[in-house]
């Protein structure tokens, strides 16, 4: 078991290095940071000097080696855009993104499973049909439009919820939370709905089809033949078997939600990592971009490792022998 985790971590490290290198070699297509860092009065000499000072004249592999060397010591450099340490920028923005992502994942999972089960059991009911049709809209509408639509209904017309930002936050050590203030909670509602909506519809449709599949399986028929009550069959036997693939998907999705909350964060001016990254790309803030992409790779490596472990816990067959082989 321990050997398996260690091996996964080693693989993760290789993945992160590869991501970092690909990202790094692509940065020169994003533009030249020097253009943004100097005012329009800058002379050709000024630009040459700053380029030299930032080490941008060095070959890409050398720049990359320097970056990895510094990163290994926890030093991600200083943001070109804000003149602040990248590590503290990321730590400052992390709580906002994590709270948003975790809440929307919970929202999507709980409601998605409930609606999916309902739609599977009452397959022909009109509510189930309505939910299924609505979920199609959820899959096809871009996140951006959902966000703007919510803002216009709940912020501009009804004035119930704030249209942007995170509201008041409370600091718990270095972590800031919006969960402890009224304005913080109100600010969370629309971004959570927006970010969770696509996940919700995906999980719901997945649960429904898996459940329908399982309900046709032999063991359900045997259970029925034994006269076990229908409710018990549905929730005890069918749902449990349905959830294994759903949890896998939801777990991987959580990583994606944390990493790519970019659109939602931009629409709601949510001060998270996604917004930080968008600004960094526009400014060609290379230190922030590299650190962010490394962070995203880390999140994916971590979530897939955790999902693997949950898999092992859920499926007894994987526990004996080499789990990686059993897959």
Binding site for other proteins (CB under 8 A): 29-33, 35-47, 49-50, 53-55, 75, 77-78, 80-85, 92, 148, 151-152, 155-156, 159, 162-166, 266-269, 271, 275-276, 278-279, 282-284
Paired tokens of 23: 């990202």
Task: Please state, in angstroms and rounded to a whole number, the distance separating the CA atoms of residues 109 and 30.
Answer: 37
Task: Please state, in angstroms and rounded to a whole number, the distance separating the CA atoms of residues 78 and 62.
Answer: 18
Residue 171 backbone dihedrals phi, psi, to 5 degrees: -95, 125
Closest to other proteins by CB, 144 vs 219, is 144
Closest to other proteins by CB, 47 vs 123, is 47
Shortest separation between residue 147's beta carbon and other proteins, angstroms: 8
Q: What is the DSSP letter of 176?
A: E
Task: Please state, in angstroms and rounded to a whole number, the distance separating the CA atoms of residues 32 and 282.
Answer: 10
Closest to other proteins by CB, 242 vs 290, is 290
Closest to other proteins by CB, 169 vs 304, is 169
Closest to other proteins by CB, 85 vs 123, is 85
Task: Please state, in angstroms and rounded to a whole number, the distance separating the CA atoms of residues 148 and 151.
Answer: 5
Shortest separation between residue 245's beta carbon and other proteins, angstroms: 36
Shortest separation between residue 220's beta carbon and other proteins, angstroms: 49
Q: Which of 253, 258, 235, 251 has the alpha carbon at shortest distance from 310?
A: 251
Closest to other proteins by CB, 115 vs 293, is 293
Half-sphere exposure at residue 46, Cβ-oriented, CA atoms within 13 angstroms: 10
Closest to other proteins by CB, 214 vs 280, is 280
The neighbour count for residue 42, using CB atoms within 10 Å, is: 14
Shortest separation between residue 46's beta carbon and other proteins, angstroms: 8
Shortest separation between residue 178's beta carbon and other proteins, angstroms: 12
Closest to other proteins by CB, 27 vs 311, is 27
Task: Please state, in angstroms and rounded to a whole number, the distance separating the CA atoms of residues 323 and 327.
Answer: 7
Which residues sit opposite 171 in a β-bridge?
A: 176
3-state secondary structure 202-239: HHHHHHHHHHHHHHCCHHHHHHHHCCCCHHHHHHHHHH
From first CA to last CA, the distance across the chain in angstroms is 14
Shortest separation between residue 254's beta carbon and other proteins, angstroms: 25
Q: What is the DSSP letter of 82?
A: T
Shortest separation between residue 17's beta carbon and other proteins, angstroms: 22
Shortest separation between residue 189's beta carbon and other proteins, angstroms: 15
């Amino acid at each position: 078991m321990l050997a398996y985790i260690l091996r996964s971590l080693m693989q993760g490290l290789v993945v992160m290095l590869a991501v970092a290198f690909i990202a790094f070699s692509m940065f020169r297509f994003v533009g030249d940071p020097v253009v943004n860092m100097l005012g329009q009065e800058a002379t050709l000499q000024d630009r040459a000097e700053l380029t030299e000072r930032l080490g941008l004249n060095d070959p890409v592999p050398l720049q990359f080696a320097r970056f990895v060397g510094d990163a290994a010591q926890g030093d991600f450099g200083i943001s070109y855009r804000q003149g602040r340490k990248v590590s503290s920028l990321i730590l400052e923005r992390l709580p906002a993104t994590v709270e948003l992502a975790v809440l929307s994942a919970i929202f999507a999972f709980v409601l998605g499973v409930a609606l999916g089960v309902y739609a599977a059991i009452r397959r022909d009911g009109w509510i189930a049909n309505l939910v299924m049709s609505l979920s199609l809209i959820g899959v096809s509408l871009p996140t951006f439009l959902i966000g703007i639509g919510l803002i216009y209904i709940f912020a501009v017309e009804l004035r119930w919820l704030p249209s942007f930002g995170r509201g008041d936050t409370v600091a718990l050590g270095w972590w800031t939370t919006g969960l402890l203030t009224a304005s913080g909670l109100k600010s969370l509602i629309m971004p959570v709905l927006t970010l969770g909506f696509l996940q919700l519809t995906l999980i719901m449709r997945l649960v429904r089809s898996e459940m329908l599949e399982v309900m046709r399986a032999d063991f359900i028929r045997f259970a029925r033949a034994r006269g076990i009550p229908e409710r018990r069959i549905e929730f005890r036997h069918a749902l449990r078997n349905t959830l294994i693939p759903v949890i896998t998907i939801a777990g991987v999705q959580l990583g994606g939600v944390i990493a790519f909350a970019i659109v939602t964060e931009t629409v709601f001016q949510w001060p998270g990592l996604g917004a930080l990254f968008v600004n960094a790309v526009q400014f060609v803030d290379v230190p922030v971009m590299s650190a962010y992409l490394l962070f995203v790779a880390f999140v994916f490596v971590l979530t897939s490792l955790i999902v693997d472990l949950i898999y092992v816990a859920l499926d007894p067959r994987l526990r004996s022998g080499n789990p990686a082989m059993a897959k």
